[in-house]
Structure 1
Amino acid sequence: MTVSGDDAIQAAAERAESTRARNLPPYGELPELPIPADTANLREGPNLHDACLALLPLVGVWQGEGEVNYPTIEGPRRLVQRVTISHDGRPFLHHEARSWLLDDDGNVIRPAARETGWWRPQPDDSLELLLAHNTGIIELFYGATGGQTSWELGTDAVVRSASAKEVTGAKRLYGIVNNGDLGYVEERAMVGEPMQPHVSVYLHRVAG
């Protein structure tokens, strides 16, 4: 059935009567699907899958400050970042990270990098980390755990869209540090530059 543009606009306006005051909410403020919701708190929701036990300390919502630097940018630049690592009971973790650049006084200047993906532990104790970036880059990392306190990974494949800048590789090291905080450093090879430090962040647990 063909619907005219005017009819479509009218139908959308009618649907919006019940949704116009809603935006992306915290969990629990919209009707839930009849399935367990993702959780970043191990005390709530489904049990963590046994395959993810080596990643257990990562589960949570983390926030903190760090810096980004590279020969191709004017830096170093301060940033604040929030990382959410959650699960739904299956043998992987969901990863989301958002960053904002800060001025010298700690005020937000503008949004910066965003990434989303999955930590995928394997039966041989190796790790896969699949990340998609808002810049048009998709990266597949492989690595291993260092007990339950550190996770080191490097890219096996990097795919980029036609509009993305050149990225040829990256390395990441995540570690549980003082008082259970989470720190990580990233090295990156891109736009003709060799592998070198790019981002370092120190994160505090704010949920979970």
Structure 2
Amino acid sequence: MSSGDEAIQAAEERAASTRDRNLPQFEDLPIPGDTANLRQGPNLNDACLALLPLVGVWRGEGEINYSTMEKPVRFAQQLTIAHDGRPFLYHESRSWLLDDEGAVIRPAAREVGWWRPQADDTIELLLTHSSGIMEIFYGKPRNQTSWELGTDAVVRTASAKEVTGAQRLYGLVNNGDLGYVEERAMVGEPMQPHVSAYLRRVVG
């Protein structure tokens, strides 16, 4: 079997366990609900076609590191990217820390926001973090399966740590899995690698 055939077979096997799953739906909601499954719910708005591969629910693990940390920290994450048929995507990330054996220590970072693609291929990404940070990213697709963004503005509450900038790169890797890396400038340190993760599709 060729590598191309193997990739197609692997994709079909993954889809068998994810194609019928979706976000919980309220049947009495009088407007379209969010869907993370392109086979269900409203059609994806044409404005979002450049972001189509991101739609789904993704889970996996990654690593947090920074020059101010004694050592890297393992974490797990669920990332939801969904839509309701309008020209934007909903973004929600929930993370939890793991010990060296992979057991859950406690809940960690949360963020919610919106991907807003524009007619000139620019992507606006608005994110609000539970830690009191609000960020506006701008970027563009690098190709059909990767997207690079950097902050244009960062706002924080009085109780939040100092953050002055961030950059993110998302991309599909290894037969449709999602990887991303983030660089961040904070607490007086220059921009540097901070987070990386590898996520597998569980919905869509």
TM-score when scaled to structure 1?
Answer: 0.86
Query: Whole-Å Cα distance in 2 between the matches of residues 130 and 184 of structure 1?
Result: 17
Q: Which has the larger radius of gyration?
A: 1
| 2:127 aligned residue | 131
Pair 1:185-2:173 in alignment: no
Q: Report 1:94-113 matches (<5 A).
A: 94-113=90-109
Q: Specify the code of the residue in structure 2 equivalent to 1:96.
A: E
The 3-state SS of whatever aligns with 1:124 is coil
Across the aligned residues of Structure 1 and Structure 2, the Cα RMSD in angstroms comes to 0.9
Alignment check: 8 A CA contact 1:54 1:148 kept: yes
Q: 1:163 is matched with which residue?
A: 159
Q: What does 1:1-208 align with in structure 2 at a 5 Å threshold?
A: 27-28=24-25, 30-208=26-204
CA distance in structure 2 between the partners assigned to 1:72 and 1:112 by the alignment: 18
2: CA distance, partners of 1:80 / 1:126: 30
Residue 175 of structure 2: SS of its match in structure 1? helix
CA distance in 1, matches of 2:180, 2:43: 26
Q: Is the partner of 2:143 in helix, strand or coil?
A: coil
Post-superposition offset of 1:31 = 4.6
Please state how far the C-alpha of 1:71 moved relative to its aligned partner. Answer: 1.9
Please state how far the C-alpha of 1:73 moved relative to its aligned partner: 2.5
Q: Which position in structure 1 is the counterpart of 2:18?
A: none
Question: Aligned residues, how many?
Answer: 182
> What CA deviation, in whole Å up to 9, does each residue of 1:119-144 have, x standing for no partner?
00001001000000000000000000
Other structure's SS at 1:51 match? helix
Q: Distance in 1 between matches of 2:142 and 2:191?
A: 23
Write the distance in 2 (CA, Å) between the matches of 1:145 and 1:32: 37
Which gives a bigger RCO, structure 1 or 2 (Cα 8 Å, sep 6+)? Answer: 2
Unaligned 5+ runs, structure 1: 1-25
